[in-house]
Amino acid sequence: MTELESLGLAEQAKPSGARIGAGRPSVDVKARTGAYVLAVDLRVDGLTVARVGLGGVVQARATGPVPAGHDPEAIASSVVELMRLVVKDVDPGAALVGVGVGVPGIIRAEDGLVRLAPNLGWRDVPFAKILASRLGPVAAPVLGNDADLGALAEHLRGAGVGVEDLVYLSGEVGVGAGVIVSGHKLEGAGGYAGEIGHMPFLPDGKLCHCGAHGCWETEIGAEAIALAIGCPPERVGALGEFLEGVHDAPDDLRLVGRHLGRGLAGVVNLLNPRVIVLGGYLRSLFPLVHDDVESELAVHALIAPRELVRVTLPGLGGDSVLHGAAELAFEPLLADPVGCLAVACVDVDAALAV
Ligand SMILES: [Zn+2]
């Protein structure tokens, strides 16, 4: 019996055998009573908040717009409003054990400082602190890069279960990569690895939000896709619906597909992944330009790694980042159940009323 089971929090299903993050064995835990986390997927064009139980069970969810101008204080307030909605009918005895937030930017792990989120216009924004000031000490939020969290979740419960070498691409307004190599997350010296959207791609390309010209994301990100199908810039938040209405990809969209395939060839050559998962808007784009992506891969990826890779859609649909944020929030509980529950918050109304 595990510590979680002895505390009456969970009954353990069969272990999946997959490994995540820093090599922690993944445990498929079924929730029995109520330890839960609040998971936040903060995107440039929308907010999703969910109450998630052990084993990745989404118990309640709420979505909302991102306040205009991407003001961090206003976004934190919107997040807390959505949190109130998802805890409205929570079991009175259930314990909130963590808050995890996926952010499309470069995060300093130790204090949740957002060093750079170019598409939010954020530079050195202490978003963990700003959100924490609204939540009280029992629900200190932990921030993670959206693509890293997508990779974590797909590795644990999605298209990458049992796969030790995986790349998850978050295709939003910006494009990032979460990379798992030999079962371990690729971090880099400062934890900032994976900013593949800013890979120099076209010598005289468009101006990127990061300040450089010709980054890969200016050719395959949401704004490029929107331009290719005539979706007005102010409707980029509804790009998924626009893409669903496209049946024959116009030439401009097929060019986006070829740019996607050519960049992916670089990923294949550099990292030799077994699986590449296309998240965000790339999920809706890929079926429309599949042949263009594959033809560029065939030309530019080296045959040996090319033979081993599978480009696929997320197993968790549009929820990869949300599930990753939940996993991040559960980490303290899984590492130290007794210590974590000692400070867990049962009176969630009080926590959110601060
Ligand atoms: Zn850039």
pLDDT digits (tens, 9 = 90+) for 234-280: 888 889 889 999 999 999 999 999 999 999 999 999 999 999 999 99
Q: Which residues surround ligand 1, an ion (CB under 5 A)?
A: 198, 208, 210, 212, 215
pTM above 0.85, yes or no: yes
- Decide if pLDDT at 1 tops 70: no
Predicted local distance difference test score (pLDDT) of residue 30: 47
Cα of 212 vs centre of ligand 1, distance in Å, is 5
- Decide if pLDDT at 124 tops 80: yes
Mean pLDDT of all residues in 222-238: 91
Backbone angles phi, psi at 89, to 5 degrees: -110, 30
Cα of 105 vs centre of ligand 1, distance in Å, is 12
Per residue in 269-326, pLDDT (tens digit) is 999 999 999 999 999 999 999 999 999 999 999 999 999 999 999 999 999 999 999 9
The torsion defined by the Cα of 77, 54, 146 and 49, in degrees rounded to 10, comes to -30
Percentage of the chain beyond pLDDT 70 is 89
Mean pLDDT of all residues in 143-154: 97
Cα of 288 vs centre of ligand 1, distance in Å, is 25
Cα of 321 vs centre of ligand 1, distance in Å, is 21
Q: How many CB atoms lie within 10 A of CB 220?
A: 28
- Decide if pLDDT at 354 tops 50: no
Cα of 214 vs centre of ligand 1, distance in Å, is 7
- Decide if pLDDT at 132 tops 70: yes
Mean pLDDT of all residues in 84-98: 91
